[in-house]
Amino acid sequence: MTHYVILEGVIAFFLVAGGAFAFIGSLGMAHLRDFYMRLHGPTKATTLGIGCILIASMLYFWVTEGKPDIQEMLITLFLFITAPVSAHLLAKTGLHLQLRHIDITGGRPPELRHEEIGEKPVPHPDRGHG
């Protein structure tokens, strides 16, 4: 009997933690001052939050139905793979469009070339310039 009480507590903890992390990520996105700062909230905190909620759901259906299900794990895995990729593309888009940013945010990572952050035009050797 106590077994189920402990499991219920674990599931409730994961649910509340997931909701709190999702809320904190969205709060960061709504509150912070420039685009590169806003990118931090959704890409890290929200992904962790939905991971917690999906783990809670998987545990709940495991306890109630008696066998584990792969589907929630699949959603978690897919989100954990795709979140960094979309964040990288969003950051590249922000650099390309030369968004306004406050002075502390550099906006000039050393590993990117000059034409990737919009400082120089993209060379086109086949069209005769570049």
The residue ranges that bind another protein (CB under 8 A) are 8-9, 11-13, 15-16, 18-20, 22-23, 25-27, 29-30, 35, 38-39, 41-42, 46-47, 49-50, 53-54, 56-57, 60-61, 64, 69, 71-72, 74-75, 78-79, 82-83, 85-86, 89-90, 92-94, 96-97, 99-100
- Minimum distance between the CB of residue 80 and another protein, rounded to whole angstroms? 11
- Minimum distance between the CB of residue 128 and another protein, rounded to whole angstroms? 20
- In sequence order, what are the residues at sequence separation of 6 or more whose Cβ sits closer than 8 angstroms to the Cβ of residue 12? none
What does the alpha-carbon distance between residue 69 and residue 14 come to, in Å, rounded to a whole number?
Answer: 17
What does the alpha-carbon distance between residue 123 and residue 109 come to, in Å, rounded to a whole number?
Answer: 20
- Minimum distance between the CB of residue 21 and another protein, rounded to whole angstroms? 9
Nearer to another protein, 16 or 102 (CB): 16
The tokens describing 97, both together, are: 């469009």
**Phi, psi values for residue 114, rounded to 5°:** -65, -35
